Chains A and B, each alone.
Chain A
């Protein structure tokens, strides 16, 4: 494969551009036709990143408004002591929902949604690599989120706090379904966050403009990459936490019940190992946006590009080392508190780097005081203050006073509203001209900013004091005469000021926003990055070659040349939707990815997934199982159309570069996605093993408990042997399926079919060997931990079995051969992972109790 030429833009030598003018008749029309959005009712099957991105952002913003209204009710209740606007039960639901919806249904989805919209445009990719996955993530989130939110109208909303500490949220103290709704709501966000993270990682690494090497990548893409990696590492902890809590609630497996060997602190470790990085998961994309907006407003390149990237990576790295600062008051040894205290202060450094990089950029240019600029300046004010109080609470002794008081409420709102909401509003104002026919009003924008900025400070600044003079968090009322009355009243007034600002924004939005993909308002800011190229449903007409971090400033005439189709891939070579896959480091074109278009499959799969969880929550088990099966069926239907194979010979995309339209192995985008998915699964499993070991630490003398015997060595050894055998059989099938001559030997499905048996056999052997020992998972945390590991492994075995059968079906349908083997490769990767995980699980479950001498 040729390296793309690097046109040196010394002047306007159009001869150096990859594709000559005039473009062939009908090329542009075919491109438009391929990317046309469906009409009528089928419109909801659209998968374009622009459509899905906008729906996604809109839904997230809807949740922001609704959760904000919940906050207003709470503030009204707290305006005076002994308020009786709402009762304790509703109030407890309100603050739980406010926190949960803001964190899980607004903040994370909003930044992910914005990137669905922005990322491909910014990298001049035609779409994200898995548009149907984005659509699935969106619809699951939309249906699940709306139903979840509606529970507040029926008094069914969760009421145990957004952190859901057991035992309060266990079935003994929360017997009603409320807590299950929380676990359900989080289930959706887990699915859509993981799906989005996979999409973003592969999107950033594999679909970029030609020549957009990692050192020319927009900071926003970098931020989203770090964001996605953090989700992949952090979310598994909450996935496991919610699984364990639901197992405890549904089947009485005592992970968190102290009387039976569990420990409430296990939940806190799992929750905060996710929960703290979560804050940076929300914050980093926002800083990425700021790093895009500041240079455009100051009309100068970003100062300290490399330092900012270092800061992003450092933040991501450090954020996993400070979760215990949410647990300073749980009575952990001072030694470990010291470590986490130090790590918590250290994370201030990368944030400092970013703040000063923006200040330096502003100083080196000339900041126009537009509405986005105002929101950026407001962000810097608020976030700096929030960061400073963050250093304060990082000091453990101070935190012993401030923890769970209104001081922390103030701190976290400074960090989150300052660090995320203000940049998001800046982004709304900044990118509106790219999505809408008209930009938003600058005059009203100033009012929006003024009210929100003042309101924010009026609400939350006094809360620092309210907390230090003793007001604890999460109280539905407070007594007279504590000295908190005036401060609370001020906070309430401020909250309504913020609301007024948001209301004006909504009015302006309704007036000015008119969705437009081709006739948008355009580059009104004279910004430098590729999302401001002229575009349509197909994104840019041709995919530019980039030689600078600020291509629109440094490459004259780029917009026009791109629009005329003089750059790469100006049409469609397969007749369908395509994206250009580039190499991860220096963005050389590798192959043309045939992207699936609109379809009902992701929508239906999402609806059935949502129905599965919803019905399970209200204990309609049978209906739920049917929906689950339908969801899996829809996913299989959707996958069936993927992996199209090389439908035509390699194509010339311009400039003498000829690339294939299909690729396998580590070049393939879905190989990347599968690897990321395996990292997610591996992290969930690691957290599960951590939980097992943690529970052992709590019960060192009862592991296993006195009356429990562990199985002999024979059966686990047999299970291990079966796992290895199934992997060997699959490896043999893979070897037979190699070659460039499109063979599809009959032995391949036979081998896969045979390999299914030892895989299933291994899981059954292991389960049975524990079962015959006769101890119940609900008797003691030991049994619960062992059975959790077994069930987790069994789930993976079942998934591998389905994938194996699916792969055989592909062969039978003639859709699998030695060239067209992406499906097989993915099944194989997942299979190997399952085998590896099974072996580790056997080692831990059977080896560890022997090692510690518990037997």
Chain B
């Protein structure tokens, strides 16, 4: 055993693991296929209304940054903070898009909040420059020129009237955004997500004649259909956050909260736990895949099926190892005798993009590394390391899991 497992460590897992290079390549292909698929979906929506919306947004982002940068340049000549502000305004240009970014909205709620953020940022920047400008004027202007500033009138106008007027305008806008965000809609797709240390139990409830099923660490949603996620926690408080789709909602033991959103752009996103939940809070994420309606239905049908039978003797050997190792007492693989409810449902684990709650790409190498070194890779998770398996056994076991698509 050790001769193979020695080098399979954290980094090895990340890069694909020595025992699974081929599968890694294979997986690479699948992933690129998926990417193409997603791109096609993306094209599909271009004909819908949302595409226009998003194009419009991009134009505005450009304008916003230009304007703010101009402001920044103007003031920067005079102050350090000005320079800092330029940075503040320029940075979004560099890196606002992303799979886990509130500045790259992919749904109506996120977009509404995005605009709220933009308006407040621009307004706040202007106010900041006005106030600090006045301050520098008060310090540096010649005494007779600044005399008008040194009275109670300044306080009444600047400190009392101005904030009251501004905030009276901002508050209703904020409240309207709040009213329109996270609204339950009829016909929404119900999904239950339960936060556990340190992973996500996901349950798709029965929807019409489509049966209920469980999965983990991956949320697949149809584009354009409202989603109603009910969340709670099994142990400690977690928080469910997909920045591209909207705000976060806490998952609190004993309480059921809900989050409503609609994905309006197909693609692959990332959700994350936002409430500190213990040792591996940092490694508690999940993938979010937004597919078109047909793609989603196909996925859903596939997920509701029981697990595939092993196709080769090696995979059969993997299943035997799975059984013999007692994996089934914690994990469920529907269609087999493995029915543990403690850990993630593995019926279709091979179809997921990542393992370890959004941590590593899913392939034979990473799966093998994970099984052998769980406590080294993600110390504090409930699953023990199975370091006593030989390299051959690990390959078989990981291969079996990878085949559960």
Chain A residues with a Cβ under 8 A of chain B: 87-89, 92, 160-161, 165, 167-168, 173, 258-259, 262-265, 300, 303-304, 307, 311, 329-331, 334, 337-338, 341-342, 345-346, 348-349, 352-357, 359-367, 369, 377, 380-381, 384-385, 388-389, 391-392, 394-405, 453-454, 457-458, 461-462, 464-465, 468-470, 472-479, 482-483, 486-487, 698
Distance (whole angstroms) from the CB of A51 to the closest CB of chain B: 37
Least CB distance, A785 to chain B, in whole angstroms: 16
Interfacial chain B residues near A453, Cβ < 8 Å: 80
Could you tell me if B248 and A331 are in contact, using CB atoms closer than 8 angstroms? Answer: no
A369 closest partner in B (C-beta): B139
| Among A356, A384, A403, A457, contact of B132 (Cβ-Cβ < 8 Å) | A384
Contact between chains at A461 and B174 (CB < 8 Å):
no
Query: Does B100 contact A345, Cβ atoms closer than 8 Å?
Result: no
Distance, CA A405 to CA B170, complexed state (A): 23
- Judging by beta carbons under 8 Å apart, are A362 and B155 in contact? no
Cα–Cα, bound, A404→B250 (Å): 11
- CB contacts under 8 Å to A, within B146-186, are 146-147, 149-152, 154-160, 162-164, 167, 170-171, 174-175, 177-179, 181-182
Complex CA–CA separation, A356 to B247 (angstroms): 35
Which residues of A lie under 8 Å from residue B157 when comparing CB positions?
356
In the bound complex, do residue B276 and residue A474 qualify as a contact, i.e. CB atoms below 8 Å apart?
Answer: yes
Name A349's contact: one of B88, B120, B141, B163 (CB within 8 Å): B163
Whether B159 pairs with A88 at a CB distance below 8 angstroms is no
Please give, as numbers and ranges, the residues of chain B lying within 8 Å of A168 by CB-CB distance.
236-237, 276-278
Total residue contacts A-B, CB cutoff 8 A: 296
A616 CB to nearest B CB, Å: 25
Question: Which A residues are CB-close (under 8 A) to B124?
Answer: 388-389, 391-392
CB of A388 within 8 A of CB of B128, answer: yes
Is A470 in contact with B101, judged by CB distance below 8 angstroms? yes
**Which residues of B are interface residues toward A (Cβ below 8 A)?**
79-81, 84, 87-88, 91-92, 94-96, 98-104, 110, 112-113, 116-117, 120-121, 124, 127-128, 131-132, 134-135, 137-139, 141, 143, 146-147, 149-152, 154-160, 162-164, 167, 170-171, 174-175, 177-179, 181-182, 197, 235-237, 239, 241, 243, 246-250, 252-255, 257-258, 270, 272-282, 359, 379-380
Smallest Cβ-Cβ distance to A389: which chain B residue: B124
B258 neighbours in A (Cβ, 8 Å) = 331
Q: Is the CB of A398 within 8 A of B91?
A: no
- On whether A360 and B171 interact (CB within 8 A), knowing A404-B239, A477-B282, the answer reads no
Contacts known (A303-B150, A352-B160); A264 close to B237, Cβ less than 8 A? yes
Asked whether, in the complex, the Cβ of B282 is within 8 Å of the Cβ of A353, the reply is no
- If A304-B152, A363-B150, A465-B91 touch, whether A263 touches B254 (CB-CB below 8 Å) is yes
Partner of A398 from the list B132, B174, B275, B282 (CB cut-off 8 Å) is B174
Distance in Å from the Cβ of A717 to the closest Cβ of chain B?
36
With CB as the reference atom, state the residue of chain A lying closest to B82. A381
| A398 with B239, Cβ < 8 A, contacts A265-B252, A329-B247, A355-B131 known | no
Instruction: Check if B159 sits within 8 Å of A352, measured CB to CB.
Output: yes
Query: When A168-B276, A258-B254, A400-B246 are in contact, do A346 and B167 touch as well, CB less than 8 Å?
Result: yes
Cβ B160 vs Cβ A359 within 8 A? no
CA A486 – CA B179 in complex, angstroms? Answer: 36
**Residue of B at shortest CB range from A385?**
B128
Output the least CB separation between B142 and chain A (Å).
10
User: A341 touching B178 by the CB < 8 A rule?
Assistant: yes
A397 and B174 in contact (CB under 8 A), knowing A265-B252, A329-B239, A475-B281? yes
Contacts A349-B163, A462-B91 known; 10 new A-B pairs at CB < 8 A: A165-B237, A167-B253, A258-B255, A367-B139, A395-B178, A404-B241, A457-B81, A465-B92, A469-B102, A474-B276
Which B residue sits closest to A366, measured CB to CB? Answer: B143
| Smallest CB separation, B240 vs chain A (Å) | 9
Query: CA–CA, A365 to B143, complex, Å?
Result: 8
Q: Which of B84, B163, B250, B273 contacts A331 (CB 8 A)?
A: B250
Q: How far does the alpha carbon of A173 sit from the alpha carbon of B162 in the complex, in Å?
A: 49
- Interchain residue pairs with CB less than 8 A apart (10): A167-B236, A168-B276, A353-B159, A355-B159, A362-B135, A364-B147, A395-B116, A396-B178, A405-B102, A483-B101
B98 touches A469 (CB 8 A): yes
CB distance from B383 to the nearest CB of A (A): 16
Instruction: A391 to B123: give the CA distance in the assembly, Å.
Output: 11
User: A352, B163: Cβ atoms under 8 Å?
Assistant: yes
In the bound assembly, the distance between CA atoms of A394 and B171 in angstroms comes to 9
CA distance A279 to B138 in the complex (A): 28
CB-CB under 8 A from A303, the residues of chain B are: 150-152, 154-155
B158, chain A: closest CB distance, angstroms? 4
Q: Is the CB of A403 within 8 A of B248?
A: yes
* B324 smallest CB distance to A (angstroms): 32
Report Cα–Cα, A303/B95, bound state, in Å. 45
CB-defined contacts of B273 to chain A, threshold 8 Å = 472
The answer to whether B80 and A364 touch across the interface, beta carbons within 8 angstroms, is no
Q: Which residue of B has the minimal Cβ distance to A364?
A: B150
Whole-angstrom CA separation of A311 from B163 in the bound complex: 13
> Which of chain A's residues has its CB closest to B282's CB?
A475
Q: Among A89, A353, A398, A470, which residue has its beta carbon within 8 angstroms of that of B116?
A: A398
B141, B149, B156, B157 pick with most chain A CB within 10 angstroms: B149
Residues A349 and B80 in contact, CB atoms below 8 Å apart: no
Q: How far is the CB of A29 from chain B (nearest CB, A)?
A: 48
Question: What residues of B have a CB within 8 angstroms of the CB of A362 in the complex?
Answer: 135, 138-139, 150
Bound-state Cα–Cα, A469 to B171, Å: 25
Q: Which of B91, B163, B253 has a CB less than 8 Å from the CB of A348?
A: B163
B143 to chain A, nearest CB (A): 6
**Measured between C-beta atoms, what is the minimum distance from B9 to chain A in Å?**
12
Q: Which are the 9 A-B pairs with shortest beta-carbon distances?
A: A400-B247, A258-B254, A364-B150, A470-B100, A331-B257, A475-B282, A363-B149, A356-B159, A353-B159
Residues of B within 8 A of A300 (CB): 150
Q: Give every chain A residue within 8 A of B141 (Cβ-Cβ).
A: 363
Decide if B254 touches A397 in the complex (CB within 8 Å): no
Are A392 and B155 within 8 A (Cβ)?
A: no
Are B101 and A469 neighbours in the complex by a CB distance under 8 Å? yes
Report B-chain residues with C-beta under 8 Å of the C-beta of A399. Answer: 247
Q: How many whole Å from B252's CB to the nearest CB in chain A?
A: 6
* CB-based contact B127/A388 at 8 Å: yes
Residues A396 and B174 in contact in the complex (CB < 8 Å), given A364-B150, A405-B274, A453-B80 = yes
User: In this complex, which of A173, A259, A346, A469 has the most chain B Cβ atoms within 10 angstroms of its Cβ?
Assistant: A469
Across the interface, do B139 and A377 meet the contact criterion of CB distance under 8 Å? yes
CA distance A479 to B378 in the complex (A): 13
Task: Identify which of A167, A345, A346, A395 gathers the most chain B CB atoms within 10 Å of its CB.
Answer: A395
**A349 B150 Cβ-Cβ under 8 A:** no
Contact of A259 with B254 in the complex, beta carbons under 8 Å? yes
